[in-house]
Amino acid sequence: MNRTNKILRYVSRRLLQGIPIILAIIVLNFFLLNLAEGDAVDVLAGEAGSATPEYMEQLRAKFGLDKPLPVQLLVYLKNVVTLDLGYSFRHDMPVSKLIVDRFWPTLLLMVSTIILAVGFGILLGLLAAVSLNTWKDAVITVFALITYATPLFWVGLMMIVVFSLNFGWFPTSGMENIAAFHEGFDRVKDIAHHLVLPTITLSLFYLALYTRMMRASMLEQYGLDYVVTARAKGLTERRITFVHVLRNALLPVVTMAGVQVGALIGGSVIVESVFAWPGLGMLAFESLFARDLNLLLGIFLLSSALVVAVNLIVDVIYSFLDPRIEIG
Amino acid sequence: MKIINLLSTAVLVTLLSLFGVAHAQKSGGTMVFLVQPEPPTMAGYVSTSGPIGLLAPKIYEGLFDYDTAGKMIPVLAESYEMSADGKTVTFKLRKGVSWHDGKPFTSADVQFSIMNVLKEVHPRGPNSFKEVSSIDTPDSHTAVFNLDNPAPYMMRAFSAYESPMVPKHHLEGQDLKGAKLGNNPVGTGPYKFVEWKKGQYIRLDKNEDYWGSDGPYLDKIVGRFVPDASTRTAAMENGEVLYAAYNAIPNIDAVRLKERDDIGVTTDGYSMINPMALIEFNTKEGPFVDAAVRRAISTAIDRQFMIDTIFFGYGKPATSALSSNFSATGLHAEMPNYPANGDIAAANKILDDAGYAKDGSGVRMKGTFDLIPYGEDWRRGGEYLKQVLGDIGIQVELRYEDVPTWLKRIYHNYDFEMNLNYFYQLSDPVLGVHRHYGTNMIRKGTHFVNSSRYSNPELDKLLRAGMTQPDATKRAAIYKDIQTILAEDMPVVNLFELEFLTVYNTKLKDAYGSAMGAYASFGNAWLDD
């Protein structure tokens, strides 16, 4: 009871601390983005072929881009406080709707990637550490090195060439088969089918990272005194590995996974682009070149909130993995 | 007996072929095609942006379309009549046409579309319909255009892409740029808008109440967005998409895919878009204010080499300020200073004669060369041009920025010396070419107009004359003079006529009935399995 209370108090305190951090991120992003030459009106008019200066002035006034920067920032902050993320003039749609539409595909890709990467990473790292200096260790280490060093877009394209074009097992791109428009359970199956290649591609890089980290972490733990003690107690190697060493070795991996959730949103741009996956990364990328600042700020806001939340979750997980780490 | 046999065989063959022709088109199926990049909205009446052109003309229609020979095909108008002085044009509109929401299409929609929408907010509409002072609607299926001056070019601007007819009842009294119609289009065309999944696709379904007697044959057409070029190619190879226009499949892949039996490649369908690669010069300040330097640059460039090595043979060297596609209307004339293979010696001589001496390291002048940020091909082009310019003693640094920065630099700040670019010359010089040279087209902040700030009263007079001259022969003579002046002054050096590629699966039939190509309706397209 005491512990639950403590955790609750801790979580709410951390959440409160998160608010000024997120506000600072908004302000910083706002000015950074406004440093770029040209605005949304330039891009829109440029794409349209030609437009009169009066028309462009009219658009600027409509988008509120004619006001001085500090005023624009205040208006934006005021809207954010009331949970209104503003309007994307480029898409002629509220930012929140655009982001929510694209958030689910991102979440799907992110969660499946993390499960695959962390799961297999821990497994392979464990296997390599247990079979130190055998052929298994060598194979895993070389595999990790190669996947870590290979550019993501190349892996993605090779996956398409091999598994879509040559074997025909998976579709090349997209999130669902849009010639068929499946419904219900067929649709779930169809989306899962489309998810396979992007997930594997994105996982490979992180998988290598976790494998190497897990292996090193395991080896480090093996050398510590408590392992010697456990051995002296007469525990089996099996019990030492799985109950004592594994648990302690997990800590750095969990830390890393937490940090990388944030990076995954941005880092998936390449995979989203190669596989035409309709996620947030691509949306952010396109908005940057369209100078759709409202949309971009909205995406940044969401990512920073996500990072704050995930870091909090990781800290709480810590205390479960290692009861010596106290929160409060 | 033999003869009878032969005869009956002949009859049978004839019957079969007749039968075959009459029932050639198969109905049904979903046609997925590539749209690149994803458009911001579907408001084709506000923006002529390329990806909107790929989608909106399936939903909206124009008064006319144009066949591959340039002949007018009646669409929403059945016919037109022009008065002897060219100042009154009467359109007879098609009866029994309704909008996708069931309301009838009438002359009031035409009047509203031209006067309140296209003339006001369309990027090119103010030019196309400049002379239209009012439109009378004596009955619901007659529209009378009253013109201040004859406007022969206007008759080339009635396609669904260039001048779509929009529903008055959805736009009247609204802010045209923010109207709901922009994301939820309602037209008269063969396909109805159903759904737009941002980042994935736009789905259009067959319009069951379409006025045409044949077609549409396809149940659904779906425009898919795939950001990565290599993936687009893979999707085409895999048969996941059936049609990709405007170089959505890069030339380098298209020449490979062409070898396959199930994939075709064509350059048809771009004659009314008429893209021209070119270099714009700052004629007011910087190293290129002297026309002699610009003539030397034009003389030095090996246009055929650029086409062959960078664009895989797709393109045609420019021979004047106007595209050779204007030969059909007699307006194009070949000019000097446009050698297809480049002449370095002659170019050096021009510069020597003009008094630009080389220094110790062979450099006559230095400059900065901006490149259009629309893909790798243009960077390769810039690298080649840098070499050629070096050969004639002009040392340039290449600059490659993102689209908004580049637009601002060239068209707002005029902060450039020379700029690699391409322009659509469209279906008539008045619509696509005048904007590049007229003094009245020096408009700070407007994109894709006279950024050179070239101003020549004599040329302005000729441009005005070319605009209103209804007689074809006299008009050709005017444009010959225009091209002569431009070949001498060269505020812009035309490089080559771009040939865009359409890559398609051979299952897809009859997608190319119109000169508008991919910007037409797919109304007759069908799938053969």
* Percent above pLDDT 90 for chain A: 12
Give residue-wise pLDDT tens across range A1-34: 577 788 888 888 888 888 888 889 888 988 888 8
Q: What is the pLDDT of residue A267?
A: 60
* Contact state of B435 with A279 under an 8 Å Cβ cutoff: no
The count of CB pairs under 8 A between chains A and B is 169
* Contact state of B41 with A47 under an 8 Å Cβ cutoff: no
Local structure of B276: helix, strand or coil: strand
Per the CB < 8 A criterion, the answer to whether B257 and B503 are in contact is yes
* B420: nearest Cα among B352, B462, B371, B487: B371
Task: Return the number of other C-beta atoms located less than 10 Å from residue A134's C-beta.
Answer: 11
* Contact state of A46 with B404 under an 8 Å Cβ cutoff: yes
Per the CB < 8 A criterion, the answer to whether B64 and B91 are in contact is no
For B:254-293, CB contacts with A below 8 A are none
Residue A18 corresponds to which tokens in the numbers above?
Answer: 């998160």
How many residues in total does chain A contain? 328
Give the C-alpha separation, B454 to A99, whole Å.
46
Give the C-alpha separation, B179 to B198, whole Å.
19
Residues of A in contact with B237 (CB under 8 A): 165
pLDDT beyond 80 at A73: yes
Task: Return the number of other C-beta atoms located less than 10 Å from residue B197's C-beta.
Answer: 17
Residues of B in contact with A291 (CB under 8 A): 404
Task: Return the number of other C-beta atoms located less than 10 Å from residue A162's C-beta.
Answer: 13
Give residue-wise pLDDT tens across range A252-294: 888 888 878 777 766 688 888 899 888 888 888 888 888 888 8
Q: What is the pLDDT of residue B13?
A: 46
Per the CB < 8 A criterion, the answer to whether A171 and A177 are in contact is yes
ipTM for the predicted complex: 0.78
Residue B156 corresponds to which tokens in the numbers above?
Answer: 């080339």
Per the CB < 8 A criterion, the answer to whether B53 and B519 are in contact is yes
Give the C-alpha separation, B73 to B512, whole Å.
14
Give the C-alpha separation, B99 to B438, whole Å.
40
Residues of A in contact with B41 (CB under 8 A): 91-92
Give residue-wise pLDDT tens across range A126-177: 999 888 889 999 999 999 989 888 888 899 999 999 998 888 899 988 888 8
Number of H helices, E strands in chain B: 17, 21
C-alpha distance from residue B245 to each of B44, B215, B265, B266, B514 (Å): 18, 22, 10, 9, 14
What are B266's strand-pairing partners?
Answer: B502
Give the C-alpha separation, A7 to A13, whole Å.
10
- Candidates A39, A42, A155, A287: best to mutate against B (most CBs of B within 10 A) is A42
Residue B223 has φ and ψ, to the nearest 5°, of -90, 120
What A91-95 contacts at long range (C-beta under 8 Å, 24+ apart), as own/partner pairs, is: A91/A292, A91/A295, A91/B40, A91/B41, A91/B183, A91/B198, A92/B40, A92/B41, A92/B178, A92/B182, A92/B183, A93/B183, A95/A294, A95/A295, A95/A298
Digit-by-digit pLDDT tens for chain B (529 residues) are: 444 454 454 454 444 444 444 447 888 899 999 998 888 888 889 888 788 999 999 999 999 999 887 789 999 999 999 998 889 999 999 999 999 999 999 999 999 999 999 998 887 888 889 899 999 999 999 999 999 999 988 998 999 999 999 999 999 988 887 778 988 999 999 999 999 988 899 999 999 999 988 779 999 999 999 988 899 999 999 999 999 999 899 888 999 999 999 999 999 888 888 999 999 999 999 999 999 999 999 999 999 999 999 999 999 999 999 999 898 888 999 998 999 999 999 999 999 999 999 988 999 999 999 999 888 889 999 999 999 999 999 999 999 988 878 888 998 889 999 999 999 998 899 989 999 999 988 888 778 889 999 999 999 999 999 998 888 899 999 999 999 999 999 999 999 999 999 999 999 998 877 888 999 999 989 998 7
* B527: nearest Cα among B159, B222, B99: B222
Q: What is the pLDDT of residue B15?
A: 45
Out of B408, B445, B448, whose CB is closest to A49?
Answer: B448
* Contact state of B40 with A290 under an 8 Å Cβ cutoff: yes
User: Parallel, antiparallel, or unpaired: how do β-strands B30-34 and B220-224 relate?
Assistant: parallel
Residue B299, amino acid: T
Q: What is the pLDDT of residue B18?
A: 44
DSSP-derived secondary structure letter, B104:
B
Per the CB < 8 A criterion, the answer to whether B480 and B465 are in contact is no
Local structure of B370: helix, strand or coil: strand
Min distance A117 CA to chain B CA atoms (Å): 24
Beta strands in B158-252 (DSSP E): 191-197, 201-206, 220-224, 243-244
Residue B427 has φ and ψ, to the nearest 5°, of -90, -10
Give the C-alpha separation, B358 to A223, whole Å.
73
Nearest CA in chain B to A98: B198
What A71-79 contacts at long range (C-beta under 8 Å, 24+ apart), as own/partner pairs, is: A72/A30, A73/A27, A73/A30, A73/A31, A76/A26, A76/A30, A76/A294, A76/A297, A77/A23, A77/A26, A77/A27
Give the C-alpha separation, B174 to A238, whole Å.
74
Cis peptide before B216 (omega within 30 of 0): yes
Q: What is the pLDDT of residue B79?
A: 95
Give the C-alpha separation, B222 to B210, whole Å.
18
Residues of B in contact with A279 (CB under 8 A): 199
Give the C-alpha separation, B133 to B130, whole Å.
8
Residue A239 has φ and ψ, to the nearest 5°, of -65, -40
For B:155-214, CB contacts with A below 8 A are 175, 177-178, 182-183, 197-201, 203
What are B74's strand-pairing partners?
Answer: B64
pLDDT beyond 80 at A44: no
Residues of A in contact with B409 (CB under 8 A): 37
